[in-house]
Amino acid sequence: MVMQIQDPASQRLTWYKPPLTVLVIKKVHDAQILAPFVQLVHWLVHDKSMVVFVEAAVLDDTLLAEYGDFTSVKERLMTFRASTDDLTDKIDFTICLGGDGTLLHASSLFQQSVPPVMAFHLGSLGFLTPFEFNNFQEQVMNVLEGHAALTLRSRLQCVVLRKSQDDNKDKKKPTTILVLNEVVVDRGPSPYLSNIDLFLDGKHITSVQGDGLIVSTPTGSTAYAVAAGASMIHPSVPAIMVTPICPHSLSFRPIVVPAGVELKIMPSPEARNSASVSFDGRSQLTLRPGDSLYVTTSVYPVPSICAQDQISDWFDSLAECLHWNVRKKQKQMDELSDLTHSSSDNLEELDNNHDERPSDT
């Protein structure tokens, strides 16, 4: 058999029917987002005749009343509450206004299939938000017409299995959470080192002694993982990264494992304390002795719409947001004159030093 690797450039946005519904996610508690938000929803509703969904909490912002254009469109917006309403199969695509947190929030709203996400950079870092808002009409039109590339950002499916559930004493359904960046297992408020057992497809790999462990997607490799000393992986690479946090061992380095494996993480029997687990920086839980966390790649990725293409967007973000390989260039010199002059001076100096040495007696 010949292994075939998909060309990232082949991942393009294709509409099987014209998109009619759009979910608009805005950064909360940021007054600077309000004006772009009003402009966008007004244009989508009145100019493009689309059905626009927003979170119910967005309309509670009293500052929106200052925008006259919003009054005419407010009654035409569809609202939902993330904790109670299900958006499955109701949204054609999503537009995020803010920073990377808005994309993470959009991901959390869909625990199964995720509609394509278009993210505008109106936040702090903007590593995952490649679009600029100044010409949003033209850029959204390109998306509506299907002229865009996609990056399929893999997510991790995390299942927490309690000891009581494992012993069949509790029939409650295990907690399942999908994350886009990472799941972090650490010592929480305890003063003791974490002592965590790590299994891969049922085989015990190692025991983690240190502050904790980061299990991340390629998208999350440029988040907490890179701050903990890991490498950076392009989001199209099918992989899971395992990164220790301040390990009490000089040889414990980050590793990359295939996307199809299942990781099992649990406090060691001799651990002095429980472990704390967080999912994309939220939804914190406690792992007690006997509890287990199972992590594998989800079958539901996040289709992230590219401003240019997969490669250009990622390397632009590395340079602009993380200043990857940004440094002052060496001064240019004349190779014919400066190098020749420098070489002749060095040779002449060596000859002079040789002539001045005293002879042997």
Query: What pLDDT score does 58 carry?
Result: 86
Strands (E), 20-149: 21-26, 51-55, 78-80, 93-98, 117-121
- 291 catalytic? Reply is no
* CATH architecture for the domain at 16-149+306-321: 3-Layer(aba) Sandwich (3.40)
Average pLDDT over residues 42-48: 92
pLDDT > 70 fraction of the chain, expressed in percent and rounded: 87
Q: Which of 60, 86, 100, 360 is catalytic?
A: 100
Superfamily of domain 156-164+172-300: Probable inorganic polyphosphate/atp-NAD kinase; domain 2 (2.60.200.30)
User: Which pLDDT tens digit goes with each residue over 56-99?
Assistant: 888 888 788 777 778 888 889 999 888 788 888 899 999 999 99
DSSP secondary structure code for residue 46 in this structure:
I
| pTM for the structure as a whole | 0.85
H or E element in which residue 237 lies: none
Closest CA to 240 of 222, 223, 261: 261
User: Which pLDDT tens digit goes with each residue over 252-298?
Assistant: 999 999 998 999 999 998 888 889 999 998 878 999 989 999 999 99
Query: What pLDDT score does 343 carry?
Result: 58
Q: Can you give the residue ranges of every domain in the chain?
A: 16-149+306-321, 156-164+172-300
Long-range pairs for 247-250 at CB < 8 Å and ≥24 separation? 247/208, 247/209, 247/210, 247/211, 248/193, 248/209, 248/210, 249/209, 249/210
User: Which pLDDT tens digit goes with each residue over 302-339?
Assistant: 999 999 999 999 999 999 999 999 888 888 876 555 65
Q: From residue 107, how far is each of 7, 31, 142, 172 by CA, in Å? A: 25, 23, 22, 25
- Cβ contacts of residue 279 below 8 Å, gap of 6+? 158, 177, 179, 183
Residue 167 has pLDDT above 60, yes or no: no
d(CA 321, CA 317): 5
Q: Beta strands 292-297 and 255-258: pairing type? A: unpaired
What's the pLDDT band for 180 if we cut at 50, 70, 90?
very high
What's the pLDDT band for 155 if we cut at 50, 70, 90?
very high
Residue 74 has which token pair? Answer: 């407010």
H or E element in which residue 260 lies: none
Closest CA to 26 of 57, 72, 51: 57
H or E element in which residue 31 lies: none
pLDDT > 90 fraction of the chain, expressed in percent and rounded: 59
* Burial profile 214-246: b = 16 or more Cβ within 10 angstroms, e = fewer: bbbbbbbbbbbbbebebeebbbbeebbbbbbbe
Q: From residue 209, how far is each of 22, 164, 252, 270 by CA, in Å? A: 46, 26, 10, 12
Query: What pLDDT score does 8 carry?
Result: 65
